[in-house]
Chain A
Amino acid sequence: MSHPLLSLALLSLDGLSLNYGTVPAVRAVSFDLHPGETLSVVGESGSGKSSLIRTALGLVPPTAGTVRFDGREVKSLRGREAKAFRRDVQMIFQDPAAALSPRMTVRSLLAEPLRIHGVAERDTWPGVLDLLRRVGLPESVLDKHPHQISGGQARRVGIARALVLRPRLLVADEPTAGLDLSVQGDIVNLLVGLQRDFGLTILMVSHNLDVVRAMSDRVLVLYLGRAVEVGRAEHVLNVPAHPYTRALLAAVPRFDPGNRHRAPPLRGEVPSPRNPPSGCAFHPRCPLADARCRAEEPAERILTDGHRVACHHPLHAVPAAA
């Protein structure tokens, strides 16, 4: 949406690393997220996606590197500033039903953000009801408990709940996971509409590449905690520079009888971060791997237009026009 160079970053990660004990989950990830933009983090299970967003949200302190929101380092926020950060940054959870406190009604779940932040309920409740209609829920769900509504409804409650406080940044963790295909489409359309209407900035994690394609301005590909490719969505998804990105895209089943340029799908599992491979972490699964890949970890190289890739043998040096 807005051009990266023309605006200050809303969320900025710089060399962010997170270790669980001695096991690295996120390794030196950097990116800027600009107002109004949607950035998607993609990767297999175990690539560190959830660790990355939990650190970005300040739920876990980073082992190294910084997270800045609106120019301020999240780790150092205290008191009123910390509260304002919690108000400005909201999240949609992967398992929507499990993220709703089980003994509360939908009504109190929606009112709770207001109570936590001391917003007068009387003035804002009509807005909450508008939001409820906006996400496509009838008022009859208000008196139900989380176990009495469907997965799709719980997802919508989660979205409404995340927007009650009118946040600036919305973090969406697998927003379409576990939903029927038609409902997935509804949720994507809803999020795109809400982003436009509320001026949201979205950080999304997903391994549904169709959803990523439909929603993202930029895409970050994570492999074993490392950002192996970052760039504009049309570049990364259409003309990937990293063999791993190409393999991920090839793994999406598609009705395409003339798929001549199809890369072979990925074999094997993501290696254990406990014992990462030498050199480039992707080399055991990479069709292009050579001695250099086994020995030396590739530095990030910049292609054009903010397209970055960490690979010794990028598929191309300059992104072709989309």
Chain B
Amino acid sequence: MHAVLKRIWRDPGGRAGLLLVAAVLLLGLAGPWMVPHDPNKLNILARFGGPSAAHWLGTDHLGRDLLSRLADGGRVALLVALSTIAVALAAGTLLGTAAAYAPPQGERSILAAFDIISAFPSLVFALAVVALMGPGLDKVILIVAVTLVPHFGRVARAQTLSLRNSPFLEAERVLGASPLRLALHHLVPNILGPLVVLASMDVPVVITIEAGLSFLGVGVPPPRASWGTLLHDGYTTLSQSPWPVIAAGAVLTLATLGFTLFGEALRDAIDPKLRTEP
């Protein structure tokens, strides 16, 4: 773990990514306690304010403090990203390894399910879910997690297929290891590397999907802040003040850039082919 972080730090892109990720984490996790204003407190008289000592990034069309709302939106973005990826990683690994070990028919049906999910436009799926169940943070997490499962499932299956006949798994069978032990102690630890890299590369994707859904009004329902809703509100009132769009756009861009750079550096750092440990 320490060695991996060190290798990421040595790479210029990785270093920039690490710093940006740290800044986003700080903003999202610690921000709500550090910022001086309640993100949902209205102050109509102070609306469309530019940056000032009291409001560092200004105020939105309802006079709410932009910095506070960005921090709150960051929290939402991180929450959605981490929970969807955790769910998709777990479900994808389970289904992918099951597909690799299943008889041909079972494998085909799991792969067909992956194909259907991938082929279905995720936005239409999102609109359908929201129309049926109403908007909500939990629905956003559900929608994004389902669309990501095939990602992880396909990689998990390919990795499992490449390891399924490896001598060390046979050696464990000769020792009498149970299938559960084989899976948890020997298979999963050895297929996790590529899946973790994929997970880190998916963080910016999930953040943009969440922002996109919220921008379209099918994501996180107001008054809860999200970078997508901030952008949408800022966009509709762009003629009054450019600050909400600039602030939310910049944070969204920097966050996705940071996670992308971090993900790429992480991939390079834990790719076993590049490993030169003694």
A residues with CB within 8 A of B: 57, 59, 82-83, 86-87, 89-91, 93-95, 98-104, 112-113, 116-117, 147-148, 161, 165
Q: Mark B180-199, 1 if CB is under 8 A from A, else 0.
A: 01000110011000000000
What chain A residues lie within 8 Å of B167 (beta carbons)? 93-95, 98-99
* Nearest opposing residue in chain B for A146, CB measure: B168
- Chain B residues with CB below 8 A from A94, complex form: 167
Query: Which residue in chain A gives the minimum CB-CB distance to B181?
Result: A116
Question: What residues of chain A lie closer than 8 Å to B181, measured between beta carbons?
Answer: 116
Task: List 17 interface pairs A-B (beta carbons < 8 Å), by A numbering.
Answer: A59-B173, A83-B176, A86-B175, A86-B176, A98-B168, A99-B167, A99-B168, A101-B190, A103-B189, A103-B190, A112-B172, A112-B177, A113-B176, A116-B175, A148-B277, A148-B278, A161-B175
By the criterion CB–CB under 8 Å, are A101 and B168 in contact?
Answer: yes
| Size bin of chain B's contact surface | 10 to 19
Which residues of chain A are near B176, meaning CB under 8 Å? 82-83, 86-87, 113, 116-117
Known A-B contacts A59-B174, A90-B175; the reply to A101 vs B185 at CB < 8 A is yes
Per-residue interface assignment for chain B, residues 262 to 278, with 1 indicating a CB less than 8 Å from any chain A CB and 0 otherwise? 00000000000000011
Q: Are the C-beta atoms of B174 and A90 separated by less than 8 Å?
A: yes
Q: Is the interface of B mostly helix, strand, loop or mixed?
A: helix
Residues of the A chain whose Cβ atoms lie less than 8 Å from the Cβ of B174: 57, 59, 86, 89-91
Q: Does B53 contact A (CB under 8 A)?
A: no
What's the Cα separation between A93 and B186 when bound, in Å?
17
Alpha-carbon distance A104/B159, docked complex (angstroms): 19
Instruction: Give the complex CA separation of A141 and B172 in angstroms.
Output: 20
Question: B171 to A99, Cβ gap below 8 A?
Answer: yes
**Least CB distance, B256 to chain A, in whole angstroms:** 32
Taking a contact as CB atoms under 8 Å apart, the answer to whether B170 and A99 are in contact is yes
Instruction: Assess whether B171 is in contact with A91, with CB atoms less than 8 Å apart.
Output: yes
Closest to A147 in B: B277
B105, CB-defined interface residue at 8 Å: no
Q: How far is the CB of A30 from chain B (nearest CB, A)?
A: 23
- Does B166 reach chain A (CB closer than 8 Å)? yes
A59 CA / B190 CA spacing, docked (Å): 22
What would 18 more interface pairs be, CB under 8 Å, given A91-B174, A95-B167? A59-B170, A82-B176, A86-B174, A98-B166, A99-B167, A99-B170, A99-B171, A101-B168, A101-B172, A102-B168, A112-B172, A112-B177, A113-B175, A116-B181, A117-B176, A147-B277, A148-B277, A161-B175
